[in-house]
Amino acid sequence: MEGHVAHFDSDRGSYSGSSSGHSGESYGYEDAEWLKHVEPDGSLLYVESYVSSTVREKQAQALKAAGTSERKPAFSLPSKDIKKQNKLLGLLKRRPSVRVKGSPRIGLSGEVGGKGGAELSPAPKVTFRDNPSGEVRKVKLQVYEGGNNLGRRASLCETVLGLVPGRFSEPPDSRVMVAGLVPGSQALRNGAIKIGDWLKEVDGAEITWDNLDEVLAELQIPSLITMSVQKCASETLPDETGSDHKRVTQTQLVKVVTGMGGSSSPSTHLQELPHTLLYLSLVGVSEDSPDGADIRYQFPNWSNKLVKVRGMFITAAHTVQEVAGTPALCSTVCVDGEYYHVAYTREHNDVLLLALPHAYVSSHDIVGLMEQISTLIKFEFGTLVKGAGSSRHKGYLDHLMSHILGTVLGQGSQDGMTSSKEELRLNPYLPMVPVTPQSYVMAYPCWLILHDHEETKLQIDNCLSELESGDFGDEDTDCEDSLSLYNIIGSCLFYKGLLVASHLSPEEMRLVWLFTSHHGLLSLTAQESVSQLVGWRRVYLPVESSQDASSPGVHYLLLSAMNHCLLGVLLETGNITDMLDEDAGPDPFLVDQIEASLYHLHALHINTTCEESLTNGGIETISADDRFGKGTPSKKPKDRTDVVEGGLRLPDVPSILKQKSSAPLEPVLYMGEHGGNEWEEEASEDSIAHSSQDSSLAAEEDGREDEPDDDSESDWRIFKPTENRGLHQYDFEMKARPSKAPTSPIRVTCGKESVLFHLVQLEVGEGVLIQAHNSTPNTSPSSPPSHTTAPLHAQILHNFQTTCGHIHHVLQAAVRCKDACGGYQGSSALNTIKEHGVLFTYSPPTTDGGKRRAQTFSYWVVGRLLAAPYQREVYVCYHESVPQNLLEMAFRVSLGCVV
């Protein structure tokens, strides 16, 4: 740590005055890298990756380990001593983030070797100034299978070669640098390879960052390989050269997500696929205007038939609204035998159009998507015309749209059905960005249910509350200045793209979610861990949701992420508005505080908890059914990830109840371990009773599953990870059911009887969702590919999602009917609808030549509309044989979600 302090001095000299705005000279530590990336209008999206995405976990641990000890005083012990101390020292303590990040991490393998799991701390900025020419050496290395068993997160390079790959910070940056050596590896013992070396060739094959894995994958193992490495001279310490700024370490994915990497030219396939987003305005367009003068914004940039007939859509939108009294939502057109949907958003006389092929989106989907896009543009720019209508935002919007439309198109044609669904879909506009299928009809943030961690939840809430109140226990007046510039409206925390905690109102929550989701930040944090992410943008809340419309405050959204956690903070300008330069970037002090909060959360092991909840069950809703699809019982740990695919998201809770946010569910779902209120206990008892009753009915119980003797025992056993394996196995061994192994989202019933495949909850009123989040845990490059998901399982999921969309629509008929206006109305026959269910029967295709008798099995998809005061929809998918009382339980459980 001394190294940091020493370093800090030199930093201070070189960075003073480098920042923008009011606080430039008052804080000498504003050496944050992101400051140089602030756009002229103040917006910012800065992402820094770890040196290698594959070592991120270890690095996170190292950071955490390194950070915890020194951070502690700043947060948990706000002692008077600190602020009376030398300001420099005080600041030092307050700014772990900048310090850790900004200081070069010089080859740490020696220093941190004793830190248990942290040996692998890579050295992204290793420099070697001696040996300027660089000698090329040939190194022979024995590799053998499982040589360096580092778990599934490790990259090939780590497992095979024992080298931690990194990238040079100077071009050409496709070169692979040895960023670290795996302890105990051959490479380390060999001694010939040093940190910082340039890994040039392996067995004669030239190595670049891009082909590294391929080359290594083709290696014969075990074998003796020859590598050539070169010492590299060009790396220099950034602060010593005084170069304007360090190159930001970013993985390919980050570059693509942030739009830093040049986007590749779209494939011809994409060009031939008619789809477009247009913003059309007839203002200032006259007869003799050139063709296309009415197009204020267009994406993608090539024209197609749909663009040519845009006049039709404008007129249609206006006429239809005039006739029907309500705005046009969507049109269906037929071009050359293909159907396309065109969704509209009108703003005054301007129209935003989105056209996509029917093969990719249904008409309901596109309406939902359009609503999201227009809401997002309004959120970011205030109005559509300010955003899409202004040419200076074109680049920005282009990038945003390639995220959004690429996601849609990347899901592939839906007519071709889901057999290919197992392969990882990629965004055609932004290669590298994987596409996770999502429902556009029910687009709300997804909750991650923290499982069995009541305390953690409380800690998170406390941490966010502290941040919001600016309560850092530090009354340093310098800091107060800048803090009072902004009032924090609320904050929310995502982990791997899933909402963990939110102190925002449902509307605001949804806006923040739309922003993070459509800018690819959620999927980015889900994919890989980032070292630092700072996002800053002026945003516009809808008028009705901002409390005092009389004095419209300026709102900002500040995002910060570390590892897999993303913290979003919604700010409002405070009372000292005159001091505020609206185009200034984020206040470094504020960013610092938020990053400090993230560190704090890390120190609380939020990461671990979330990860555990994510992979270790949380709320399991679907079980794998490999046996059915492949004929092998699936007891592998992989199934655990499959299981996670269906997630139940907790309902959002109005912010007044924020301390209770989502907590009440746990006792219900987890059998009242924490002793909930009476009702909850009752519920869990009920469910236990049902489940054990059911299990006694299941005659084909497998011997390996030892039945819990009494209910209370099962409480505890079920939560043990070791038990889960057995539970699954039990499910698979059941012969009475056609090899279907449904697992309840309520773990209570998980082991006993096939109950529910899926439970999903939509809170329209609260703006919160539910619905399956696919492939969340298994998208990291080093983990096994995700296509171990059983096909039937995926099919059911797909059907469930599709059907939910349909049911949602039918249920919403009631709502729509009530506020119908204008000349045309629907019939009112459905306006008291409460429940809608569909029974599916699956009969497997007869591929076995009739050898095996085709077993069919049936499952229900049921949606229920729960009446006021919580306008909520709950969807369940369960096996036909489930008794009604258990089903009622499922609905009941969801009722308990909101207190």
Our CB check for other proteins shows the closer of 265 and 841 to be 841
Q: How far is the CB of 625 from other proteins (least distance, A)?
A: 13
**Closest distance of CB 833 from other proteins, Å:** 5
Q: Which of 803, 877, 878, 886 binds other proteins (CB under 8 A)?
A: 803
Q: Considering beta carbons, is residue 43 or 439 the nearer one to other proteins?
A: 439
Candidates 157-165, 463-471, 602-610, 804-812: pick the segment binding other proteins (CB under 8 A).
804-812
Question: Would you call 585 helix, strand, or coil by DSSP?
Answer: coil
C-alpha 191/C-alpha 183 separation (Å) is: 12
Residues 259-288 that bind other proteins (CB under 8 A): none
* DSSP β-bridge partners for residue 491: 569
**162 backbone φψ class: left, alpha, beta (φ>0; ψ -120 to 50):** left
Question: E strands within 574-662?
Answer: none
Site for other proteins in 406-445 (CB under 8 A): 414-415, 417-418
**Mask 341-380, x = binds other proteins (CB under 8 A)?**
-----------------x---xxx----------------
Helix (H) or strand (E) holding 725: helix 721-733
How many Å apart are CA 442 and CA 503, to the nearest integer?
21
For position 825 contacting other proteins by CB under 8 A, the verdict is yes
Told to check if 578 binds other proteins by CB under 8 A, we report no
Nearer to other proteins, 46 or 340 (CB): 340
- Of the listed pieces 481-489, 650-658, 765-773, 821-829, which binds other proteins according to CB under 8 A? 821-829
Which residues, 777 to 796, sit near other proteins by CB under 8 A? 795-796
Residue 840 binds other proteins, judged by CB under 8 A? yes
Binding flag, residue 843, other proteins (CB under 8 A): yes
Task: Read off the tokens for 499.
Answer: 């909402």
Q: Tell me the pairing of strands 565-573 and 756-763.
A: unpaired
Q: Give the nearest distance from C-beta 764 to other proteins in angstroms.
A: 15
Within 13 Å and on the Cβ side, how many CA atoms surround 875?
31
Q: Which of 543, 827, 849, 869 binds other proteins (CB under 8 A)?
A: 827
- Residues 733 and 602: their CA atoms lie apart, in Å, by 41
Of 120-128, 185-193, 230-238, 802-810, the segment contacting other proteins by CB under 8 A is: 802-810
Rounded CA gap, 788 and 634, in Å? 10
- 285 vs 580, which CB is nearer to other proteins? 285
> Which of 208, 858, 871, 881 is in the footprint of other proteins by CB under 8 A?
858
Q: CB of residue 885 vs other proteins: minimum separation in angstroms?
A: 10
Q: Which is nearer to other proteins, 111 or 835 (CB)?
A: 835
Q: Find the shortest distance in angstroms from Cβ 864 to other proteins.
A: 8
Look up residue 897 and give its two tokens: 């979600």
Q: Pick the binder of other proteins from 117, 832, 848, 852 (CB under 8 A).
A: 832
CA distance 520 to 514: 10
Residue closer to other proteins, measured from CB, 472 or 860: 860
User: Going residue by residue from 859 to 898, which x/- string records binding to other proteins, judged by CB under 8 A?
Assistant: -------------------------x--------------
Q: Give the length of the chain.
A: 899
Between 115 and 318, name the residue whose CB sits nearer to other proteins.
318
Q: Residue 832: count other Cβ atoms within 10 Å of its Cβ.
A: 10
Decide: is 804 part of the binding site for other proteins (CB under 8 A).
no
Residue 697 binds to other proteins (criterion: CB under 8 A): no
Are 358 and 332 in contact, with CB atoms under 8 Å apart? yes
Minimum CB distance to other proteins, residue 408 (Å): 14
552: tokens are: 């419209």
Comparing CB distances to other proteins, the nearer of 130 and 287 is 287
Segment contacting other proteins by CB under 8 A, of 174-182, 613-621, 748-756, 832-840: 832-840
- DSSP per-residue letters across 783-826: SPPSTTS-HHHHHHHHHHHHHHHHHHHHHHHHHHHHT--SS---
Short-list 200, 204, 156, 203, CA closest to 178? 200
Residue 716 found at the interface with other proteins (CB under 8 A): no
**How would you write 674-708 as a 3-class SS string?**
CCCCHHHHHHHHHHHHHHHHHHHHCCCCCCCCCCC
Verify binding: residue 829, other proteins, rule CB under 8 A.
yes
Burial readout 157-166 (b: 16 or more C-beta within 10 A, e: otherwise): bbbbbbbbbb
CB of 732 to other proteins, least distance (A): 21
Asked if 817 touches other proteins (CB under 8 A), the answer is: yes
Binding residue for other proteins (CB under 8 A) from 206, 349, 824, 848?
Answer: 824
Residue 854 contacts other proteins per CB under 8 A: no
Burial class (CB in 10 A: 0-12, 13-18, 19+), 858: middle
What is the spatial distance between Cα 410 and Cα 407, in angstroms, rounded to a whole number?
Answer: 5
Does residue 36 belong to the site contacting other proteins (CB under 8 A)? no
| C-beta closer to other proteins: residue 524 or 886 | 886
CA distances from 409 to 87, 395, 747 (A): 54, 20, 36
For residue 103, how many C-alpha atoms fall within 13 Å in the half-sphere facing its CB? 24
- Binding segment toward other proteins, per CB under 8 A, in 440-448, 534-542, 611-619, 834-842: 834-842
Contact status: 835 vs other proteins (CB under 8 A): yes
Per CB under 8 A, contacts with other proteins among 599-628 are none
Cα separation, 533 vs 531, whole angstroms: 7
Residue 359 has a CB neighbour count (10 Å cut-off) of: 16
Q: Give 245 or 308: the residue with its C-beta nearer to other proteins.
A: 308
Smallest CA-to-CA distance from 809 within 321, 357, 330 is with 330
Site map (CB under 8 A) of other proteins, residues 49-88, x = contact: ----------------------------------------
Total number of residues binding other proteins (CB under 8 A)? Answer: 75
458 vs 810, beta carbon nearer other proteins: 810
Stretch of 92-100, 598-606, 728-736, 808-816 lying at the interface with other proteins (CB under 8 A): 808-816
Beta bridge mates, 537: 557
Q: Which residues contact residue 801 at a Cβ distance below 8 angstroms, ignoring those fewer than 6 apart?
A: 437, 439, 771, 772
Closest CA to 421 of 738, 857, 801, 759: 801
Q: Which strand (E) or helix (H) includes residue 357?
A: strand 350-357
* Of positions 92, 833, 877, 893, contacts other proteins by CB under 8 A: 833
Reduced to 3 states (helix: H, G, I; strand: E, B; else coil), residue 603 is: helix
843 burial (CB, 10 Å; 0-12 / 13-18 / 19+) is exposed
List residues bridging with 872 in a β-sheet.
Answer: 763, 866
Q: How far is the CB of 324 from other proteins (least distance, A)?
A: 4
Beta carbon of residue 820, minimum distance to other proteins (angstroms, whole number)? 5
List the interface residues with other proteins, window 300-339 (CB under 8 A). 305-306, 308-309, 311-312, 315-316, 319-336, 339
Among 113, 222, 542, 822, which residue sits at the site for other proteins (rule: CB under 8 A)? 822
Q: Cβ(152)–Cβ(784) under 8 Å?
A: yes
Binding region for other proteins (CB under 8 A) out of 133-141, 250-258, 291-299, 828-836: 828-836
Q: Among 152, 839, 852, 855, which residue sits at the site for other proteins (rule: CB under 8 A)? A: 839
Which one of 799, 870, 881, 891 is in contact with other proteins (CB under 8 A)? 799
Contact set for other proteins, span 120-149 (CB under 8 A)? none
Q: Minimum CB separation from other proteins for residue 342, in Å?
A: 9
Helices (H), 392-471: 394-410, 454-469
